[in-house]
Amino acid sequence: MISVCSARAIQAAPSIQLFFPRNRGRISYDVLRIATNHSARCSGSDECGETLPEPTTNYAGMRLEEIVKTNSGKVRIDSWISCRIDGISRARVQSSIRAGLVSVNGRVIEKASHNVKAGDKINCTISELQPLRAEPEDIDLDIVYEDEHVLVVNKPAHMVVHPAPGNATGTLVNAILNHCSLPMVTTTNEELLSDMDISDDELNSIEILSSRVSEAPIRPGIVHRIDKGTSGLLVVAKDEHAHAHLSAQFKQHSIERVYISLTCGVPPSTAGRIEVPIGRDPNNRIRMSAVSRTNNNSHAKYAASRYKVIENLAQGGFSLVEWRLETGRTHQIRAHAKYMGIPLLGDEVYGGTKSMAMSLLRTRTSSSSHSQLMQLVSSLERPCLHALTLGFIHPHTGKNIRFSCPPPTDFAEILGQLRQISTKKVTKS
């Protein structure tokens, strides 16, 4: 049984001793910047030996003139251009389109959704970076734990962690700035904060790179992320020491992270480990893809997840699955679940669609209940994924602390409905 939010102290462990001024109740301004010596030491490769991307120019003024050679169906112009300028984000291309800097056959294009076809002559000039501001906002936070060094929050589904083009307000960072009484933060780092692949493993490295191209990345205290649609626990650093210490724990994969999900279908075994690299899906920039080692995808990165089936639901149509991450790649659980053939319920991007859910339910339930189930499934607006447990060594006390929070109402309601059809316990949660 999942209990209410709780913290549990375990065996004490020594912490890294660094001296930084304490700052009760506020996030240090130093957290908004990366130390110069650390940036220099990490340039070129991270502490795990992975090569970091070289910092690029901001692309401003870059020109593209090209004729579309083949017609591969409906291809949006923003997607077509972003695939031809290595490293640029789709959001940056869209900004250039809005600025009137993209034309097709001599006619300025106003919509990023414009479809290109074979023979079209494309002219594009990349626009200047626009400042992106994060302002304090009075947004309620579900605070699970707080002291002068760290803050643990239970993030609701649909809240973005940090501002980006299209999500400049209402984010966790906006709420943190207000909670800790910090002023507005401004950055010109639109590129790195848009739709770039930033996993938990890579987040610290990206902050180092961003410090080279902007004055202050707007991620005060953020050392890891969870997707917009994912609910659950997230830790925030409130001073430089805590930020460095927690970032190191994430890079060493010593942070305990346990997720639970509802999957369409049942895993092939009750427990297992999946070790399949994850990279950007070449056909869809907002989606990641788990690829086998035989697949020639040089951008795919090592990823490993362990899973355990807790419960079989609705006569084997669905399952409650626990996940433990060994790495922190972008969309890791969602991509691995799709690879296994058990996409997360409600995950329209990775195959766990409403139509798939209803097709599984129709064959396992009486026709009289279909209308009610259709209404329930239709109300799902996110993947059924929840960050259940978070454990780490406290940066200042050296104690191993652990927190748990049950899933929110939308997750609990559909779990309850599936249990009413049928349930079979497999392993203890």
Q: Is 387 helix (H, G, I), strand (E, B) or coil?
A: strand
pLDDT at 283: 78
Q: Which positions are catalytic?
A: 227
Token pair in block for residue 113: 């959704």
pLDDT at 205: 32
pLDDT at 317: 93
Provide the total of helices (H) and of strands (E) in the chain, helices listed first.
10, 21
Which residue type occupies 120? D
Contact between 150 and 236 (Cβ < 8 Å): yes
Opening angle at CA 356, ends 355 and 359, nearest 5: 85
Q: Is 316 left (phi over 0), alpha (psi -120 to 50) or beta?
A: left
CA distances from 145 to 57, 73, 142, 182, 394 (A): 41, 51, 9, 20, 12
pLDDT at 164: 73
Q: Identify the residue whose tokens are 């109402």.
A: 409
Q: How far apart are CA 362 and CA 357, in angstroms?
A: 9
Q: How far apart are CA 236 and CA 217, in angstroms?
A: 15
For 270, other C-beta atoms within 10 Å of its C-beta total 15
Q: How far apart are CA 383 and CA 155, in angstroms?
A: 15
Contact between 385 and 233 (Cβ < 8 Å): no
Q: How far apart are CA 111 and CA 221, in angstroms?
A: 36
- What are the structural domains of the chain? 1-51+132-429 (3.30.2350.10), 63-125 (3.10.290.10)
Q: How many Cα atoms sit within 13 Å of 101 on the Cβ side?
A: 19
Q: pTM of the predicted model, to two decimals?
A: 0.69
- Name 238's Cβ contacts closer than 8 Å, sequence gap at least 6: 23, 26, 27, 28, 31, 148, 149, 150, 151, 180, 221
Q: How far apart are CA 246 and CA 32, in angstroms?
A: 15
Instruction: Tell me which residues of the chain have a pLDDT lower than 50.
Output: 1-4, 6-56, 188-219
